[in-house]
Amino acid sequence: MSGLAKNYEKALRKELRSHGAWMPVTNIIEVGSYGYFRGGVFEPVGNIKTDYPDIVLDIKPGPPTKVNFSSVGTKSLKFDLDGNIVGSFAGLGNAKASLKFEFSKKNSIVLKADEILLSQIENLKSVAHALAAQPDWKKKYKVVFGTYTGNNCLVVCAREAGSEFVLNASADILQQIDGGKVGGGVSFTSSNNSTFDAVGKSGVLGIKLFKLNWLSSEIDILAADQITENNVIIEDDFGIDSEDDFEDDF
């Protein structure tokens, strides 16, 4: 796992009690995706909806949430039109201003999202038991049963210490951005090309995963109607409270 992906994973565990969807916003992960951990990062290899169409996924929205996270050692500075540091954008109206992030440590992250929507599988037990009955289902597969999607969010990931990221817009727009809602009318620059950013974009930030734990070594020879809670356990909180990296599933 790269240091940046590792720190993003830790941030999502802390802020949302979820796993990180890497890379944030731009990934192709969705509810029903399944796959492995490679280098500590979840990599989908398929989706239940297309690969096992007979398995019904009852997907419903969960409670919305928000996040405002900055790594330790990250400084946020506000400037007015003349380049003077100000304590707040309030009162500056639509005058031009800047919001600058200074990253004193490598592998640092800024994550701001005023609206994060949760979608998740409600019929988890029936889905798990149906998957356990599939002859080609691998024990190491992890399944995405929930996604946290940030709308119009700000994500900045700086790989190098000393990196800077500057947003330029009117003060009223920057005030909204600082609160986690990114609209139009903003430009941005980075001090180097080792910084990943998603400014004003929407996409999956975090994922909830489950895996199957077979209690019986003979699970693969059981009929579908014999697979119950007595021989299959759903694990859906592995690693959330751990500081350890995930080992590769290969």
For 71-217, list the strands marked E by DSSP. 74-79, 85-86, 96-103, 108-121, 142-158, 163-170, 187-190, 195-214
Q: What is the pLDDT of residue 223?
A: 40
- pLDDT-derived band at 114 (thresholds 50, 70, 90) equals very high
19 contacts 209 by C-beta, under 8 angstroms: yes
Q: Is the pLDDT of residue 245 over 70?
A: no
Q: What is the pLDDT of residues 5-43, one digit of tens each?
A: 999 999 999 999 999 999 999 999 999 999 998 877 899
Q: What is the pLDDT of residue 225?
A: 46
- 225: exposed, middle or buried (Cβ count in 10 Å: 0-12, 13-18, 19+): exposed
211 contacts 235 by C-beta, under 8 angstroms: yes
* Tokens standing for residue 131: 């998957």
157 contacts 2 by C-beta, under 8 angstroms: no
DSSP letter (8 states) at residue 50: H
Largest separation between any pair of C-alpha atoms in the chain: 73
191 contacts 125 by C-beta, under 8 angstroms: no
Q: Tokens 């996270």 appear where?
A: 69
**DSSP H helices in the chain:** 3-16, 48-51, 124-132, 171-178
Residue 3 has φ and ψ, to the nearest 5°, of: -60, -35
Mean pLDDT of 65-79: 97
Q: How far is CA 235 from the centre of its chain?
A: 19
Please count the residues of the chain: 250
Domain boundaries, the chain: 3-235
Higher-confidence position of 161 and 232: 161
Q: What is the pLDDT of residues 132-186, one digit of tens each?
A: 889 999 988 999 999 999 999 999 999 999 999 999 999 999 999 999 999 888 9
Which of 40-54, 103-117, 125-139, 204-218 comes out lowest in average pLDDT?
A: 204-218
Q: What is the pLDDT of residue 228?
A: 53
Q: What is the pLDDT of residue 216?
A: 47
When the pLDDT of each residue in the chain is averaged and rounded to a whole number, the result is: 88
Q: Is the pLDDT of residue 219 over 80?
A: no
The one-letter amino acid code at 85 reads I
- pLDDT-derived band at 2 (thresholds 50, 70, 90) equals confident
